[in-house]
Structure 1
Amino acid sequence: MYRALYALIGVEPESTQKRTKPPCCDPDTGLPPGVDGALVDDLVARSRALTHRR
């Protein structure tokens, strides 16, 4: 799954180690600290565009 996300944004993964969920998240948003909402929205839009093309 993460390989597809990296490919979607055109970035090579920095590590081959298994990803895990952050240990803590903001109770209001459920997101880890420091998440850029605009970046997440852009990623969602790009992934939906790819889904609709198939």
Structure 2
Amino acid sequence: MQSLDTLICYGKRIAAWRMGIDVDHERDVKLAPSRFGLEAARRFARQLGPLA
């Protein structure tokens, strides 16, 4: 993660996906997710595996 904005944007999604939760709601944030960023975050979440 290169900044706090990046952590908030993608880190919460990675954690949620690892817990089996889909992120549907987008709050008003400084950084909107890009298609590339979402694809990379999904890939990282799959590689890290589920949280037990």
Is TM more than 0.5 here?
no
For the superposition of Structure 1 and Structure 2, which TM-score range results when normalised by the shorter chain?
0.3 to 0.5
Q: What TM-score, normalized to structure 2?
A: 0.35
Q: Which has the higher contact order (CA 8 A, sep 6+)?
A: 2
Q: What TM-score, normalized to structure 1?
A: 0.34
